[in-house]
């Protein structure tokens, strides 16, 4: 029996989330095309491997051939010197959507980030229509990507879900991640909903599990049908209650971006 | 022991929802008065049957005598020639509220429709205060009904819950109904809450089960106490994931109204 | 030199505003077609006169032939028995838009009314996106018209400006009209803007002069370019300051609808 | 092993909620300092007892010494003559925050009340940013407290959670309390979250269990991580459905404040 | 010819604004009753002078006898020790409204203050429905007054305009006052509108001239009909452009409250 | 007498707006440093000329030395191949703010564009907090700039006014520009306000004259004190009323971006 898509492209396949997704997305397409600048290992069954620098426009155009849908997890996923971010996340994004447009791809999931909003306070509730408040050059590059994909939807009808991913790790490494935790299963379900909803237009959604504390109000993306099943509550014992409040001038506790707030931008 | 009401009037008792409700509402009133233009069969125990054309003012006034509360499911419930809609849903509604006013009825549930809002996009989240966007003459007639009942509340204090009913069928017949599905049990519970809440003023509520994907934000009617128990999730297997997106110009996928978008208005 | 339109249809030409507009709109069209149920007198130069009952579908269709744009001032403009309102303002409106659709008319100005909002308080500020609060069956019929024209725009792209007209009289007759006053010149300018703006989509605008006290926030229709030139301030001397407040239960002072609040609905 | 805080101050320890909390908060601090104007009985292990009139500035300053965090349940918790409310809830509150400021306390939970909002309608949904609508002098004094604590946060960085407590009784005593019910366990959890969240700034939160009917939208405080576990649903059988609606002029049913609406202010 | 009111009470008649108003309000009432704790000099024609401590309930009740409307400018109008503020602005306010209620006064203008909102940023736009952010105990006491008068309106129908007065001085003394400047004429006109508007309910309005830079969005009180005629623009030459920006930690420039931000609360 | 600033940097000095501003800004600084990639001609009195490629980080750092404030009009101001836009508007912007940060510049005016919002409809009213809807790669690059400058404000306190400039030409060249027209005098005044307001934080403002028709609601930047003096009304005669509506599929009339909507992105 044929699968929903003929070919899905997964960029950033060598990254942390890329490796996590590689097997999980196989049910969705006859062929999963895996791409990264780094080595993703040999192609398995139902896989194609294409090493590709997103900053190389011709290579990206070739990469897109025959693709039905794109899961864009490529690029740089942390604070870095701006030149690198610009090549990977800005030029790479522009090349990607040019290729998507030329090849007639209809649906994209863009791995955006909560760091587009990292300068909201930890006492704020953020939703998809509030102005961006990036917490570094990485976050700024993700705002660029959301804005670029908005344009491609408004002008050419290319549908994108910008998934502002929280903290997708096996378990929370600090109290902040109790709030931003996204389980692997919930990530996969969010992607599944984003790919198979009948219409998504240009949707900005928050990729986060059903944790007790919330910073993000995701009701504007409930048309996707994503309902988180997991919660960070199971890890509560790791972070016992404490009355040792962080100092008032510790911006990593005051603003949502956490540690990212201190790193960027990196001047060289 | 006496029941909460002495007499409830159910209009549209011969229709699909009317037949579904006939037995379910018996615990709420000593007598259920069943009305329709069509034949509703013989009156059972605790029932009264009154055949009535809502466009007949005198008949409607007679129909209302001795009634404590009204469940108004009468009228035309789909796209139709405007003359018919006008008689049933506009003149009928005006006659009904005139009679309600004259007879001192205090509480009404009006079966409104999601088609009052069918021209919002399938990527929009609609709430009770947003401007109407009807998807046909049927939807326009329901906006009329909501507006008329609002007036009767503001002017005369007659309390109405306008229940914008989703798709109340045994099971979803298409992917759209996975989002709009309202189970029979949830409908009955929504009616129960609407009738027995201490105050409802003029409330616009969305009658929909707890489906995963949502188009409607119903938090502004949580004073009713209605909490859906069912979900369309049990029918997911009927609609497997598919990457065959509808064409961009298929308005039935782009807007919430679905198939209704194509039918009305009907010129004859 | 030819005028902007070939033929404008003015309905309600025998009414108060119709008579006021008859000469003022001549510069906009080679021919002004004047219509009313009542007698509008003989056609002058550049005029056509068509007596027409809006409730007569065939007549309305004939009336629309060759028309470029419509100024719809026809129908009943005050509280009246519902049957009459239904024929004129509901069936008439449905007939009108059916004809507009069939004849390919592209632009309509619908004389709506502040009585769509008459049950907002006199201390409220109302804008175009707030839910309707009609103050009688007349107001309800105008909500119907706004909703119907919205549908025709969403479905067929027919552009309408719903102009919620305040009180267009030579001078304010009571203190309420100091707030709702619309001068004849300002009305004409609002119509001109509504007809000649490059795009109006479906716009709800408030037709009111630049009076000191305001109930209506019209900023959402500033794309029309209408800027009122007149003000009721010139009539201030007619209504000297008074400390004789109306009783608390005088709803005509508490709600925006004024005297209309007491008249409707009229049961016969 | 040491507890999160060295010393928590619980004011109002002799009151209904104070007695309920006395044992429940022990796990949070090495020492719980109990204070009231009334007798709280002898100090148990890990307890200190300080009788204190909050209107006595010097006494309050002494009371605060060595305190890490404050649970302020003191003062008058019902309608009363204004002189008494002023001494306890206004002067008391001012003295308390002066002492908090001088002693360097960093975190406070202030037992505010739904009566800050009691003049919203029972069909309204209230959230933390809506203007106060107190239902008596008691409610006005709580608005004062919220405003005062806001100032101390904006100016001095003292973090306060204003917990607008619903009806914290063993079980609902009337239908209104089915909506406002807060279980003891949920109260304790709300306090725990308020004390141990990394940052709370100045948060206004609603202390209410997960009841079916809701008047309060608490999403703006979800950064606290409070998720109610209990519900009034278990008490539904106590209040069977009834069609005997309260008269339209019964303000205790029309507005959220219930019985409080009728009591204050008390002139003597 | 008789004047609009028989007797207006002006409290705070010995204060800066009180003295300014004394003559200006004479056209509105046959008798102006002047009250203050301080000496207001001898009564002129059409004047009554009553020395009164607002903290003295019996005296306030006597003061109110025969009064139609109140302009409440009494109390403390700057940062001061809390005991003094409490007596004058809190107890005084409670006494005043108790007397207003008992004597059947129907309309009050309460001189509130921009310092209810002084902790909004100088880059914020504040409107009447935003949560209070007082900048000191004086501001907190004004929030109390607004809240108290709201209660008296919701419960007893006593109409109050809370006029958040900017800086009413002959001319701006610093750049901040270029934004907050209220001319004497504009103050008088705002009072006139507040007294003579047919209904004001409970209105919060901003008393500020038509200055170029604005912090306050007053559109929600346009039902009053107040339109400022003056502007601080005439004083521009006093404050030439300067690139010497205040240091980032100068809160008097960052927040709207200006110098008040540094003064309160005053502990003694 | 010394001028407000010692040295202002004007980038893009060879461009249309740069040339217009060159003389107009002289009163604001002892020295105006003029920069462009193109030739700006010889330095006049009180001028310094520095040819500089904004994509050259070292050159930009040198350019910034000794600068108090920046008027950033540099970069590409129309649709162009993305490589060029990226070098000038993205890398250039990053370099600029890195230099601004390193050199301690406190105030920047960034010439943003209405094309950040070009995909809002011509019937929409846009304000500064609404999500960006760029109409091409040029617009996307301006969103990047707004987002980058927001970050530099949130993280480092560098104040920027993003001025979304309308159409700053001697006169409107088409009907769209009747709405977007910004006179040279109004541009200069907007810059003056942006430079000399005591605090601007990160403000997004719309640079447009007081034209009759408006798409942009600029009230959230009224703290700047900018009040337009000019209007496009003087050019009304150039664009007589016309009933020749553009076809429904002409996106340049449907969306605010006008002709830009058709040009980008440019693939090479």
pLDDT tens readout for residues F27-64: 999 999 999 999 999 999 999 999 999 999 999 999 99
Can you give the pLDDT at residue A219? 95
| pLDDT average, residue stretch A88-108 | 98
* CB D9 within 8 Å of CB D35: yes
Instruction: Identify the residue whose tokens are 């990212």.
Output: A260
Chains A and D touch (3+ CB pairs under 8 A): yes
| Residues of F with Cβ-Cβ distance to E240 under 8 angstroms | 4
Q: What was the pLDDT predicted at A265? A: 80
Give the whole-angstrom CA distance, residue E181 versus residue E247. Answer: 24
Strand ranges, E, within chain E:
5-11, 29-36, 47-51, 69-72, 107-113, 126-127, 159-165, 202-207, 216-217
Asked, for residue E186, whether it belongs to a domain, the answer is yes
- Cβ atoms within 10 Å of A153's Cβ, excluding its own: 19
| E263, pLDDT greater than 90 | no
Q: Which chains touch E (3 or more CB pairs under 8 A)?
A: C, D, F
pLDDT at B222: 98
Question: pLDDT (tens digit, 9 = 90+) per residue, D237-248?
Answer: 999 999 999 999
pLDDT, position D268: 64
Query: Which one of F117, F121, F122, F123 makes the best mutation probe of the C interface by having the most chain C beta carbons within 10 Å?
Result: F123
Are A9 and A107 within 8 A, CB to CB? no
Task: Tell me whether residue E30 is exposed, middle or buried, using C-beta atoms within 10 angstroms of its C-beta: 0 to 12, 13 to 18, 19 or more.
Answer: middle
The answer to whether F222 contacts chain E (CB < 8 Å) is yes
Is B268 part of any domain?
no
Element (H, E) at D58: helix D57-64
pLDDT, averaged across chain C: 97
Q: Which residues pair with A9 in a beta bridge?
A: A33, A70
Q: How confident is the model at residue F266 (pLDDT cuts 50, 70, 90)?
A: confident
Other beta carbons within 10 Å of E240:
9
Distance between CA atoms of residues E187 and E165, nearest Å: 8
Residue E239, classified by CB atoms within 10 Å of its CB into exposed (0-12), middle (13-18) or buried (19+), is middle
Q: Hey, is the C-beta of B247 within 8 angstroms of any chain A C-beta?
A: no
A268 within some domain: no
Share of chain A above pLDDT 90, in %: 97
A68 vs B242: CB contact, 8 Å cut-off?
Answer: no
In chain D, what percentage of residues exceed pLDDT 90?
97
Contact F214 C224 (CB under 8 A): no
What pairs with residue B165 in β-bridges? B113, B207
For chain F, list the contacting chains (3+ Cβ pairs, <8 Å).
A, C, E
Residue F81 DSSP code: B
C199 contacts F243? CB cut-off 8 A: no
Question: Would C159 be classed as within a structural domain?
Answer: yes
Report the pLDDT averaged over residues E117-129. 98
Domain boundaries, position D113: 5-262
What DSSP character marks residue B217? Answer: E
- CA–CA distance, F172 with C79 (Å, rounded to integer): 47
| Residues in chain B, pLDDT under 50 | none
Q: What pLDDT, on a 0 to 100 scale, did the predictor assign at position C268?
A: 63
What pLDDT digit, counting tens, does each position of D175-221 carry? 999 999 999 999 999 999 999 999 999 999 999 999 999 999 999 99
Neighbours of B57 (CB within 10 A): 20
Instruction: Judge whether C268 lies within some domain.
Output: no
3-state helix vs strand vs coil in chain D, percent to 5: 40, 20, 40
Q: Indicate the DSSP class of residue B246.
A: P
Report yes or no on B194 lying in a domain.
yes
Interface check for B92 against chain C (CB to CB < 8 A): the answer is: no
Q: What span, in angstroms and rounded, lies between the C-alpha atoms of A237 and E181?
A: 57
Instruction: Give the residue from D120, D178, D233, D241 with the most B CB atoms within 10 Å of its CB, the best one to mutate.
Output: D241
Give E268's pLDDT tier (boundaries 50, 70, 90): low
Q: Is residue C267 part of a domain?
A: no
F153 pLDDT above the threshold of 70:
yes
Active site residues of E: 138
* Residue F1 in this model has a pLDDT that exceeds 80: no
Burial class (CB in 10 A: 0-12, 13-18, 19+), C163: buried
Q: What is the DSSP string of B17-55?
A: HHHHHHHHTGGGEEEEEEEESS------TTEEEEE--TT
pLDDT of A2 > 90? The answer is no
Of the candidates E136, E221, E206, E132, the residue with the CA atom closest to the CA atom of residue E164:
E206
Total domain count, chain F: 1
Which of D52, D25, D183 lies closest to A243 in space, CA to CA? D25
The pLDDT, as a whole number, for residue B41 is: 96
Chains D and E in direct contact, meaning 3 or more beta-carbon pairs closer than 8 angstroms: yes
Which residue bears the tokens 């980058």? Answer: F148
**Residues of A belonging to the active site:** 138
Are the C-beta atoms of A161 and A130 separated by less than 8 Å?
A: no
- Cα–Cα distance, F213 to F180 (Å, whole number): 9
Look at F147 and A151 and tell me if their CB atoms are within 8 Å: no
Q: What confidence score (pLDDT) does residue B227 get?
A: 98
The token pair that represents A1 in the structure block:
């029996």
- pLDDT, tens digit, 9 for 90 and up, residues A41-89: 999 999 999 999 999 999 999 999 999 999 999 999 999 999 999 999 9
pLDDT tops 80 at residue A268: no
The verdict on a CB contact (< 8 Å) between A199 and B175 is: no
Does D120 lie at the interface with E, CB-CB under 8 angstroms? no
% of chain F surpassing 90 pLDDT: 97
Predicted confidence band at C266 (pLDDT cuts at 50, 70, 90)? Answer: confident
Average pLDDT over residues E252-256: 97
Query: CA-to-CA distance for E35 and E58, rounded, in angstroms?
Result: 14
A110 inside domain: yes
Burial of B85 (C-beta count, 10 Å sphere; 0-12/13-18/19+): buried
Q: Which listed residue (D97, D138, D152, D181) is catalytic?
A: D138
> What tens digit of pLDDT does each residue of C77-97 get?
999 999 999 999 999 999 999
Q: How far C2 CA lies from chain B's nearest CA (Å)?
A: 35
Please give the order of strands across the beta sheet that includes E47-51: E47-51, E29-36, E5-11, E69-72, E107-113, E159-165, E202-207
Alpha helix segments (H runs only) across D118-214: 137-156, 175-180, 184-196
Mean pLDDT (chain E) is: 97
Distances C236 to B60, C206, C211, C241, F195 between C-alpha atoms, Å: 49, 22, 10, 9, 43
Q: H helices then E strands: how many in chain B?
A: 9, 9
CATH code for position F45: 3.40.50.720
Could you tell me the pLDDT band of residue C263, with boundaries at 50, 70 and 90?
confident
- Cβ contacts (< 8 Å) between E201 and chain C: which residues? 121, 123
């Amino acid at each position: 029996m044929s699968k929903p898509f003929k070919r899905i492209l997964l960029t950033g396949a060598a990254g942390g989330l890329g490796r996590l997704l590689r097997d999980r997305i196989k049910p969705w397409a006859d062929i999963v095309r895996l791409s990264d600048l780094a080595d993703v290992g040999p192609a398995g069954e139902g896989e194609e491997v294409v090493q590709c620098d997103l900053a190389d426009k011709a290579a990206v155009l070739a990469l897109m051939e025959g693709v039905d849908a794109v899961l864009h997890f490529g690029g740089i996923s942390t604070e870095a010197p701006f030149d690198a971010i610009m090549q990977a996340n800005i030029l790479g994004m522009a090349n990607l959507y040019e290729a998507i447009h030329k090849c007639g791809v209809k649906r994209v999931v863009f791995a955006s980030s909560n760091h587009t909003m990292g300068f909201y306070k930890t006492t704020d509730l953020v939703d998809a229509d509030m102005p961006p408040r990036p917490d570094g050059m990485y976050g700024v590059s993700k705002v660029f990507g959301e804005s670029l994909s908005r344009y491609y939807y408004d002008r050419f009808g290319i549908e994108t879900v910008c998934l502002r991913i929280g903290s997708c790790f096996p378990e929370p490494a600090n109290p902040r991640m109790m709030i931003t935790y996204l389980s692997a299963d919930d990530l996969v379900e969010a992607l599944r909903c984003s790919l198979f909803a009948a219409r998504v237009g240009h949707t900005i959604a928050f990729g986060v599990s059903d944790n007790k504390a919330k910073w993000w109000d995701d009701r504007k993306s409930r048309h996707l049908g994503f309902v988180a099943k997991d919660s960070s509550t199971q890890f509560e014992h790791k972070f016992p209650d404490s009355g040792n409040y962080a100092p008032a001038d510790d911006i990593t506790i005051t603003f949502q971006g956490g540690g990212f707030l201190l790193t960027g931008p990196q001047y060289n």
